[in-house]
Structure 1
Amino acid sequence: MRVSMTSVAARAGRVNEDFTGAVPAGAVLVDGAGIPGGEATCRHGVAWYASRLGGALLALLAPGPGRDLRDLLAEAIERVTDAHRVTCDVADPIGPSATVAMLRVSGGVLDHLVLGDCYLVLDRADGAPVVVTDPREVVISRSYVPALEVAGQGTDEYQRILGELRAHRNAPGGFWLAKDDPRAAGEAVTGSRPISELSGAVLLSNGAARIAGELESIGWPEVLAVLASSGPAEIIRRVRRAEARHAVRPDDATIAHCTGLDEA
């Protein structure tokens, strides 16, 4: 398997809180997430959490098949939590967390997992992409937008409503992220596809995937065509241009483009 990767921070001078990496038969993308004030609960920070989780996942993927991807993610979450359990308040709801996309190829099959609003796009040989993501956070957050807009940022009412929204995280009926509880891995979206059906696969952070979603600049078939001709960096350049055009605040943007799946 061949993997082309590009990861760019939201703006110059800002720490990139995304992570991506690959082993011969697998790839991982982690999109770190934080809440203002989180530094008071964890001295390491979001970028540390994302890179440690990504590194643990790659180490667990490296031996090859044999375990369900949800089990690997659960173990990786446990490893990272143990790494800062003594020094940090790992259970505090505003501590570092992350969304995850990963894939593994073996025995003619591609297994994939998505937890949170990362994206995985399967480039099918018949030209009809399959887009895999977990929309629960987006759907739940959208229902709170009108009340937040009425309350006004910085008010006590705004903070109360925001607290209600955050209470849905890693809770039954809510949305799920990698944080301190390995049971969140059981809520991941998973699946498998025969490699013979696929020309490639792409992992994207939500900051990169907005080119075909939030910004709606181009569709997924065009994204795949640009990746094939010009690589991930060109997609991220287009993301930045679209953000500027729509006056959207930039986000960290990361892409891992996997081809040659039958060579793993």
Structure 2
Amino acid sequence: MRVTMTSAAAGRAGRANEDFTGALPTAAVLVDGAGIPGTESICRHGVAWYASRLGGDLLGLLSLPQDRSLRAVLAEAIEQVTDDHRETCDVTDRISPSAAVALLRLSGDLVEYLVLGDAYIVLDKAGGAPLVVSDPREVVISRSYEPALRAAAEDGDEYHRILSDLRSNRNQPGGFWVAKDDPRAADEAITGDCPISRLTHLGAVLLSNGAGGIVDRFGLTDWPGVMAVLASSGPEEIIRRVRQAEAQHAVPPDDATITHCTDLGQT
């Protein structure tokens, strides 16, 4: 498997890139850390540390014999990272570090995938539209709070009360699910597989929410268009277009990461 990875930090002062990506000959990992204000008061390590530690543990586990499901691998990685800072940080607080996760693994003649949270995996299927794997629950719930947040004075008591109510949906039945402190969240991940023979030479791509905004936030293209841009110009062009749209719409930039996997099945 050939992998091309591109990650661009949002460029906000004092903020590290809270995305992580990495790959093995038969697997790829993307972790999109959730940068919530105030997290540093709960966890002395921060979101970037959580994302990179979770991503590193996932790569380590994926390098072992493939005798477990991707959900089981994610659950163990969440537990490992939680144990790493359980004694120094309030890991159960609702704003302790968390992340969305996208995993891709080759297994025989299949490509397996997992998405938890607002990341994306797109598989370019031959003779049809790309298969887009996403977990829309956080986006759907967050959008339901947007009118109330817009009506409240920013940083006022009511604004923070609404935010707190939104965050209470995290890792709760009927809410949305992310990698955080509870390995049972992995049971809620979106998973599946696809025969490698059904994919085109463009293979598959993993995107963080910041990069996926080219489709779902700004509507600059559709998912077949994303694959076409990857083929013609590479992942850097997708991020360039997202940055341009953020500037045009006065939207605060987000960390953007793309991991493009081609030549699947060739190790």
TM-score range, shorter chain: over 0.9
Check the 8 A contact 1:115/1:187 in 2, yes or no: yes
Correspondence for 1:123:
124
SS in 2 for 1:263: coil
Deviation at 1:161, TM superposition (A): 1.5
Q: Deviations over 1:94-137 (max 9, x none)?
A: 11110000110121001100000000001112241111110001
Amino acid across the alignment from 1:8: A
Find out whether 1:25 has 2:19 as its counterpart.
Answer: no
Correspondence for 2:136:
135
Deviation at 1:152, TM superposition (A): 2.1
Deviation at 1:12, TM superposition (A): 6.2
**Counterpart mapping for 1:1-264 below 5 A:** 1-11=1-11, 14-199=15-200, 200-264=203-267
Mean CA deviation greater in 178-187 or 31-40: 31-40
- How far apart are the structure 2 equivalents of 1:154 and 1:262? 50
Structure 1: gaps spanning 5 or more residues = none
Check the 8 A contact 2:33/2:51 in 1, yes or no: yes
Check the 8 A contact 2:18/2:35 in 1, yes or no: no
SS in 2 for 1:262: coil
Q: Deviations over 1:203-261 (max 9, x none)?
A: 00000000011010111111111112221111111111121122221100000000011
- What is the TM-score with the length of structure 1 in the denominator? 0.97
Structure 2: gaps spanning 5 or more residues = none
- How far apart are the structure 1 equivalents of 2:171 and 2:243? 31
Check the 8 A contact 2:33/2:100 in 1, yes or no: yes
Structure 1 consecutive aligned stretches of length 4 or more whose deviation exceeds 3 Å:
none
Amino acid across the alignment from 1:7: S
How many percent identity over aligned positions? Answer: 69
- How far apart are the structure 1 equivalents of 2:35 and 2:220? 27
- What is the TM-score with the length of structure 2 in the denominator? 0.96
- How far apart are the structure 2 equivalents of 1:24 and 1:131? 23
- How far apart are the structure 2 equivalents of 1:247 and 1:153? 17
**Aligned-residue RMSD, C-alpha:** 1.1
